[in-house]
Chain A
């Protein structure tokens, strides 16, 4: 058995790798949910971003373009959510599920159709040093906090998520904020997906997102819908997934460690460890 010190050092080493994609996706969720749009399509959007980055890198050999295409793909998938949620007043959860099924099936279809082989893309040019994205994620945590709580636009955005009718009366364009927050959030989540593909592995393979979008969703709730809270929850969850890698071979069942984020979220949302209260109009259809 390793000493606790060596164990901790080993976990800290894999922590950025595990946490970065989660943080991007969770920040995307924080942004849209503060504007009142629940995004349970984070999983599918991450897959879309991961695939778009690899496909773009495959054709252009440019990592910058790959990241840009992930951002655009994420924003477009989120636009579908925003359009149906805002203009069609559809149930956001159902639309989110539809995007998940559509994006995960669609990327699997595209892997076959574009690369001519099912399951995984060939190796493509990727980021030489993905720690740049980790720093970017950290910077966005701070920036999003400042934006949400220290700027006029951020206050308006939160007002739209809490009391859209009052916000509208005060002259705030509810739909514009919701579209903007949802699309920017989608772009962030897709960047988390791109980290998995052109950052970590330089390929896209079916199922590579592997539930991270839902862990990010859990982190949003666990972090009480704030940037620092959600990012902290991501690091916390990443710690356990790192621990599980480090403890491989030791007599600790990996599945039970992996289960922890999900169990904790259930406990959190049931209010056992402080009330996890979403923005008041989160997920509620707004009828102007």
Chain B
């Protein structure tokens, strides 16, 4: 079984896709990460929470909640009560909670956790938000879609994104 993760903000692009296509060795600049979607290669049954999200930088405690029953599904969604702020995180699927519908002896294989960090407004992914991020997002208005400038995750880049980058100037990722 494989799994992929996607930002649950309405953009049809998965975190794994981002990782593969854009070499995700950078933080996420999005201001509206309020959940995760996990796609499975087979139908699965999810018992318990199934997914955990933990700060690795003394950040807040996260309590993702499973959406729906989690039974006989190819994908599952978890919601967060509020959007993730500045943090370094570890997202992990609980292998004991997820089994194949066809045979409960089949469990996940491969990597079931993903480390990532979030710094809203960090368009250029350098770990700090400065005037360069504001300028960078402004430069993307009217250009071919650049997911890194779409800070609100609405599928396009507009002045609100520039405003967001500006309002976050001076923030930095916490030490790892």
Q: Does B bind A?
A: no
Interface residues, chain A, with chain B CB atoms under 8 Å away:
none
Interface residues, chain B, with chain A CB atoms under 8 Å away:
none
